Structure 1
Amino acid sequence: MVDIAARVYNHHWKIDPIVRSLIDTDFYKLLMCQSVFRNSPDTTVTFSLINRTTSIRLAELIDEGELREQLDHIRTLRLSRGESTWLRGNTFYGKRQMFRPDFLEWFEGLQLPPYHLEKRDGQYELTFEGKWPEVMLWEIPALAVLMELRSRAVLRDMGRFELQVLYARAMTKLWEKVERLRSIEGLKIADFGTRRRHSFLWQDWCVQALQEGLGEAFIGTSNCLIAMRREVEAIGTNAHEMPMVYAALAENDAALAEAPYKVLADWHEEHEGNLRIILPDTYGTAGFLARAPDWLTSWTGIRIDSGDPVAGAEEAIRWWTARGEDPRTKLVIFSDGLDVDKIEELHARFAGRVKASFGWGTLLTNDFRGLVPENRLAPFSLVCKAVAAEGRPTVKLSDNPNKAMGPKDQIERYKRVFGVGAQTPVEVVV
C-alpha cells in the first residue's frame, strides 16, 4: 500500500503529477463526449472555473507557476496502449464495445486544447474555449488540479510525523464511516469523488477501502483510471452540461422547452437503449417530469442531484405511479453532497419503495474536516461549467436556486419557459 504521507512530504520529487492520464476522469465525461462527438462535433463551447466558496482565495493560496506546470503537463498526456485496450475491449454495464471505433480513434490522437489563465481579485479565472468534444474533457482534470494544489498548499509546511498522523486520522475517519455503512442491508454505493478529491492517491486509497470494507455493496467508481487499475466497475451516465448547451443553442422558446428531451432522445439513440438514467433538475424537476414524453417513463431511473433529495425522490415516485409504472422496479440515484448520515436516512426512507443507490462524492474523497488547525482542509464548492455555446450564454436553474447560473435576464426567461416558480434555497456544502 502506498505511503501517502511520505509521497505528500516528497511531492517536489515530481513523481506524482496531479493528473496522470487522460482517463483520470469521470466515466460520464467519456460517455457524453462520444455522444457530443457524434452529434455536435464542431459546436464551439466555453468552460469556466467557478469558485462558489469565495472565502477561499485560490490565487493567494496556489502559486501560478505551479498551476501552469500542472495544466501544461495535462496537455502532454495521450492515451496509453493499455488504456485504449481497456476502453475498446472492456464490458461496461454489461455491454462490450461501449465506445465506437471512430470515437476511440479520435480520442487516441487527442491533445487537450490550450487554456486561458489569469488572476482577478484573489481568484483564478481559468477558461477553455474550442470544439465541444475537446474542451469538455478539461472539466474534471482542471478541478482535480485546483483541489489538490490547494491541499498541497495547506500541507506544505507540515513535517513527516505530522503528515503521518494527519493521514492516520483521515483513514480512521473514513473507516468509521465504512463500518457504519456495513450495517445497511441492501446498500449500493459508488465513488463519485474525482472532481473534488483531496488527491489522486487519496481517492485511490478510498476506493480500496470501500472494496475491502463494503464488498458487494460497493458497486464501482466514476474514475476510469482507478476502475481500470483496481478492476472495478466504471460508473456514470450523463450530466447537466448537455441540456445546458442544447438549450443555449435553441433558436426560440419552443425549441428551448424541448431541449432537455432532445438531449435524451440523442442519448437513447447513441446508447441503443442502455444507460437510461434521467437527470431532470437542470431546469426544475417538477416541470421536467410534468412535460416529459411517455417514452421516458420506461427508462431505468432518475438521478437526484440538487434540492431536497427526499422531495426529489417522492416527486419521481409520484410521476412513475401516475404514468402506470411500478416505482419498486425503478432506480433512484442520490448524488448531492452525501455523507453517512444522509445515506442512512435516505436508504431507510426509500428501501422497498425504489431501488436506491448512492453516488458518494466529496465527503468520501475529501473529508479532512477538523483534522488541521482552523479547518483549512475543509472541502469547498468548486465547479467548472459550460458557460457559453456558440457565443450564447448557458443557464442552469437547478432545484436549488443557490446552484443557479447564467445572466439574470436569461435566468428569468428560462424560469418562464420551464414554469419554475418559487424555490427553496439549500446550503451548498460541496
Structure 2
Amino acid sequence: MDIATRVYNHKWKIDPIIRSLIDTDFYKLLMCQSVFRNKPDTNVTFSLINRSTKIPLARLIDEGELREQLDHIRSLSLSRGESTWLRGNTFYGKRQMFRPDFMEWFEGLRLPPYHLERKGDQYELTFEGKWHEVMLWEIPALAVLMELRSRAVLNDMGRFELQVLYARAMTRVWEKIEQLRDVDGLSIADFGTRRRHGFLWQDWCVQAMREGLGAKFTGTSNCLIAMKREVEAIGTNAHELPMVYSALAADDATLARAPYDVLSDWHDEHEGNLRIILPDTYGTKGFLDHAPDWLAGWTGIRIDSGDPATGAEIAIKWWQDRGEDPSQKRVIFSDGLDVEKIIELHQQFSGRTKVSFGWGTLLTNDFRGLVPGDGLAPFSLVCKAISANGCPTVKLSDNPEKAMGPATEIARYKRVFGVGEQVRQEVVV
C-alpha cells in the first residue's frame, strides 16, 4: 500500500481511525470477558492522561474532528466475520476462548457515551459506566488522539514530502528488523496499538516484521490486524484489573489480598491458560515476596516498569527460592523497548529463562527526527481507570514517574504493600 499517496489524496478523510471494535489489544477482550463474569455490576471511570504536557493536544487537534472520530466509534458493532473469528479461532492453543454468553453480549454492544471538554491546551476525555463496557474505550481513544496529532502535523505536507517521509520511516523500521534477524532464539511481538502513528502504519509494520523475522515474529496484540493478516493474537492481562479490584477493597487486609484475588479469578476464568503474572502494579518485589505459593507455578512474568534487568533478576530469584526452574519460565519485556535494549536484554537473559519481547511505540511510531521541529516524535499518553464505585484507583509501578492516584491513597498503598524507596526513570513512551 502507498501510504503517502493515501495521506495526500484524502487527507485521511477516507480512513476512519478506528475501523472495528476489534481494532484493539487482545488482552482487552480477555480482561473484558473476565470482568463480564466476575464484576458485572462495578461502575468505573476512565480518564485520558497526557503525561507529556508539552504536547498541547487541544491546540493541535480540532475538537469537532475529535468528536467526529469518537462518535464514529460509538456507531461500530461486530461484523459477522469478526464474530466468527472470535468464536471459532484457536487462541493460545485453546478453542472457544470466548464463551457464548460473552459473545452474545459483545455482538450487541455499542460503546457508551463519552465526556469531552477542553481544559487549556489539553482535552479532558472521560468514560463512565459499567466496567466491562467502558473499558473498551481505552485503546481506541488513545489511538484516535495519537493519530489525530499525526494528521495535524502531516496535513500541510506535499505529495513528494510525504513520500520521502514514509520512505525514511520504512527504512528505519527495516534497519531495526535487520539488526534483530541475527538474534538467535528471538521471540518478539507487536504491542504497538495504543500509541501508534496510525492504523495503516501499524499494519505495514506487522507485515514487515513477519517477512523480515519469520518465526521469530510471534504475532500482534491488535485483534483486527491479527485476523486480517492471519497471525497470532498476543496478550494476557494488564494493570487495570488489580487497580480496580484494589479500589473496591473495604479495608487494608482486603486491599493487601486484592492483587492475588485478581489472579485467582483469572486462573479460574482461563482454566490454567494465559498464566503470565504482571507484578509491578504495587511494586514487583513486595508482590512476589507476599505471593501465595501457587503463583510460582505460573508460566511467566511480564516486566513493564522500572529497570527491566533488575525486574528479571528479582523474578528469577523468586522462582529459584520456590523450587522452580527459571529456565522453564518466560520473562516478557514490554516497557519502552527499542532494538538496542531488546538485544541487550536477550543476551543477558537468554538461556537463564525464556525471553520474549512486546515491542510497542518505537516499532509503530518511531518518526523521531523525520520532520522539522520533531513534531511526530512519540509521547506518553495513557487512558486509565481513575475510580471504581466512587473510590479512587491507585497505581504505584516500579517507576514512581508512572504512579497515579490521590496523594493520601498513594501513601496508604505504599504502607499496605511495603513499598520503600524507588528509583525514578524517564518515561520514554
TM-score (norm: length of structure 1): 0.99
**What is the rounded CA distance, in whole Å, between the counterparts of 1:82 and 1:265 in structure 2?**
33
- Equivalence map 1:239-278=2 (5 Å): 239-278=238-277
Report the alpha carbon displacement of residue 262 of structure 1 after superposing the two structures with TM. Answer: 0.2
**Per-residue deviation, 1:12:** 4.1
- Separation in structure 2 between the aligned mates of residue 45 and residue 415 of structure 1, nearest angstrom: 23
Q: Deviations over 1:137-191 (max 9, x none)?
A: 0000000000000000000000000000000000000000000000000000000
Q: Please list, as runs of the form range in 1=range in 2, the aligned pairs for 1:406-421 lying within 5 A after superposition.
A: 406-421=405-420
Q: Distance in 2 between matches of 1:14 and 1:77?
A: 17
Q: Name the residue aligned to 1:19.
A: 18
The answer to whether the Cα contact below 8 Å between 2:12 and 2:151 also exists between their aligned partners in 1 is no
Q: Does residue 429 in structure 1 map to residue 420 in structure 2?
A: no
Find the counterpart in structure 1 of residue 213 from structure 2: 214
Aligned partners of 2:362, 2:279: CA distance in 1, in Å? 24
The match for 2:172 is 173
Q: Find out whether 1:97 has 2:96 as its counterpart.
A: yes
Cα distance in 2 between the residues matched to 1:245 and 1:10: 44
Q: Match of 1:343, as an amino acid?
A: I
Q: CA deviation at 1:56?
A: 0.2
- Secondary structure of 1:356's counterpart equals strand
Classify the secondary structure of the residue corresponding to 1:332.
strand
How many Å apart are 1:224 and its aligned residue?
Answer: 0.1
Tell me what 2:228 maps to.
229
Runs (4+) of structure 1 exceeding 4 A deviation are none
Which residue of structure 2 lines up, in the alignment, with residue 42 of structure 1? Answer: 41
Equivalent residue, structure 2, for 1:76: 75
Match of 2:149 in 1: 150
Give the superposition deviation at 1:14.
2.8
Q: Secondary structure at the match of 2:45?
A: strand
* Secondary structure of the corresponding residue to residue 156 of structure 2: coil
Alignment match, 2:335? 336
Corresponding residue of 1:311? 310
The match for 1:192 is: 191
Q: Which amino acid aligns with 2:349?
A: F
Distance 1:404 1:140 in 2: 20
Cα shift readout 1:115-149 (whole Å, capped 9, x = no counterpart): 00000020000000000000000000000000000
Tell me the CA shift for residue 11 of structure 1.
Answer: 3.3
The amino acid across from 1:271 in the alignment is H
Are 2:384 and 1:385 equivalent residues in the alignment? yes
Instruction: Check conservation: 2:280, 2:287, Cα contact below 8 A.
Output: yes
Identity %: 81
User: RMSD across aligned C-alpha pairs, in angstroms?
Assistant: 0.5
Aligned to 2:325: 326
Note the residue ranges of structure 1 that are not aligned, 5 or more in a row. none
Give the alignment's TM-score, normalised by structure 2. Answer: 1.00
Work out whether residues 30 and 236 of structure 2, in 8 Å CA contact, stay in contact via their aligned partners in 1: yes
What amino acid sits opposite 1:25 in the alignment?
A: T
SS at match of 1:297: helix
Distance in 1 between the 2:215 and 2:126 partners?
A: 40
Distance of 1:355 and 1:233 partners within structure 2: 19
**What secondary structure, in the 3-state scheme, does the structure 2 residue paired with 1:41 have?**
coil
Partner deviation per Cα, 1:220-267 (whole Å, 9 max, x = no partner): 000000000000000000000000000000000000000000000000
* Distance in 2 of aligned mates of 1:407 and 1:416: 14
Q: Please state if 1:107 is matched with 2:111.
A: no
Aligned residue for 1:225, secondary structure, equals helix
Match for residue 116 of structure 1?
115
Gap runs ≥5 in structure 2:
none
Report what 2:6 is aligned to: 7
Structure 1 residue 291, shift from structure 2 partner:
0.2
State the alpha-carbon separation in 2 of the partners of residues 29 and 368 from structure 1: 27
- Look up the equivalent residue of 1:191 and give its one-letter code: D
Distance 1:278 1:155 in 2: 40
Distance 1:29 1:13 in 2: 27
Distance in 2 (CA, whole Å) between partners of 1:72 and 1:316 is 44
Cα distance in structure 2, aligned partners of 1:9 and 1:23: 27
Q: Distance in 2 between matches of 1:73 and 1:183?
A: 43
1:353 maps to a residue whose letter is R
**1:81-117 Cα shifts (integer Å, max 9, x gaps):** 0000000000000000000000000000000000000
Q: Distance in 2 between matches of 1:343 and 1:131?
A: 38
User: How many residue pairs end up in the alignment?
Assistant: 429
Distance 2:23 2:41 in 1: 25
Using the alignment, how far apart are the partners of 1:132 and 1:10 within structure 2? 40
1:79 partner amino acid = L
Structure 2 Cα separation of the partners of residues 321 and 44 of structure 1: 40
Name the aligned partner's letter for residue 139 of structure 1.
E
Structure 2 residue aligned with 1:359: 358
Aligned partners of 1:57, 1:279: CA distance in 2, in Å? Answer: 32
Give the Cα separation in 2 of the matches to 1:18 and 1:275. Answer: 30
C-alpha deviations, 1:339-378, integer Å up to 9, x for none? 0000000000001000000000000000000100011100
How far apart in 2 are the matches of 1:74 and 1:226?
Answer: 17
8 A Cα contact 2:44 2:130, kept in partner: yes
CA–CA distance in structure 2, aligned partners of residues 236 and 324 of structure 1 = 27
What SS is found at the alignment partner of 1:399?
coil
